Structure 1
Amino acid sequence: MPALTCLLWLLCVAVYDFRKRRVPNWLVLSGAVLALAILGLGAQPFGVGWAAALAGAASGFGFLLLFYAMGLMGAGDVKFAGALGLWVGAAALLPIWIIASLFAGLHGALWLVLQRWPFFPRLALILSGPHSPTAGDTSPSRARFIPYAAYLSLATVAWMFWGRQS
């Protein structure tokens, strides 16, 4: 049941991030609280103890915080990586990051190709994400069209089914 809980949380994050290109705080916080509760109950589905979970949260948040500081990533992605670390621990984050980064790189490369050669304009629109500027908004915000938290979620699901060593 705890693994299913994590899977449902990952699915919610992926769907929300793909559709809105953001991960709301309530969704990140609910995943973190669930991970802590499951750890407290001793029902952690991936064999992660308190030390590994807290190290995962710190490394997930800390590493992606560097990308946020450089303006390359949104804050929701960073917070999600910290909550994800509570679930999977520090050791699993490296393969998850590698898989997610490959997905994100493919997303970006495909988007660039479709911008240059618009064979499938609808797909290019889907890849670029929603365009909903608010009226009167003149703040220079950087467009974040790669849903990295969604790719972290998909990579975690792949890790859950194929990457874990039993």
Structure 2
Amino acid sequence: MSALTCLLWLICVAVYDFRKRRVPNWLVLSGAILALAAIGFGAQPFGVSWTAALAGAASGFVFLLLFYATGLMGAGDVKFAGALGLWVGLSALAPIWIAASLLAGAHGALWFALQRWALSPRLALVLSGPPSEATGGIAPSRARFIPYAAYLALAAAAWMAWGRQS
């Protein structure tokens, strides 16, 4: 049952991040609490121990914190990576990060190509995300148009379906 809970949480994060280009604290916190409850009640669906979960949370948070510090990533992405680490543990984070980074890279390359060659302005608009309300609908100069948490969530869902079989 808790694998389904994790999957539903991942779907909520992906949809929210794709639509709003942010991951709210309540969504990150609910996933972290659910992961801790699953471990505490012995219902952890992926066989992750307390040690592996805490190591996954710490490494997910700290590693992506470097990207946040340089302005390349939003805080929600960083916090989500920490909460995701609680669910999947340290050993699963590397393949999930690699898959998510490849997806995010493809997103960025497609967005860049559509900016250069306006074959589909509507698709370019979808890839860049909604305009920021804080700037009056004008995209800021350093907009974070890649929904990295959404790609982490998709990669984690794929890992749940296929990656754990080994």
> 1:144/1:136 Cα in 2 relative to 1: closer, same or farther (>3 Å)?
closer
> 1:151/1:135 Cα in 2 relative to 1: closer, same or farther (>3 Å)?
closer
Does residue 86 (structure 1) correspond to residue 86 (structure 2)? The answer is yes
Task: Within 5 Å, give how 1:122-141 maps onto structure 2.
Answer: 122-134=122-134
> What's the CA shift for 1:21?
0.2
* CA distance in structure 2 between the aligned counterparts of 1:132 and 1:40, rounded to whole angstroms: 39
The corresponding residue for 1:72 is: 72
> What's the CA shift for 1:132?
3.1
> What's the CA shift for 1:142?
2.5
Q: RMSD in angstroms over aligned alpha carbons?
A: 1.6
Aligned amino acid, residue 64 of structure 1: L
> What's the CA shift for 1:105?
0.1
* CA distance in structure 1 between the aligned counterparts of 2:156 and 2:137, rounded to whole angstroms: 36
> What's the CA shift for 1:137?
9.8
Unaligned runs of at least 5 residues, structure 1: none
The corresponding residue for 1:9 is: 9
Q: Show CA shifts across 1:27-58 (max 9, x none).
A: 00000000000100000000001000000000
Tell me the TM-score normalised to structure 1 length.
0.95
Question: How many pairs does the alignment contain?
Answer: 165
Tell me the TM-score normalised to structure 2 length.
0.95
Aligned amino acid, residue 129 of structure 1: G
Identity %: 81
Unaligned runs of at least 5 residues, structure 2: none
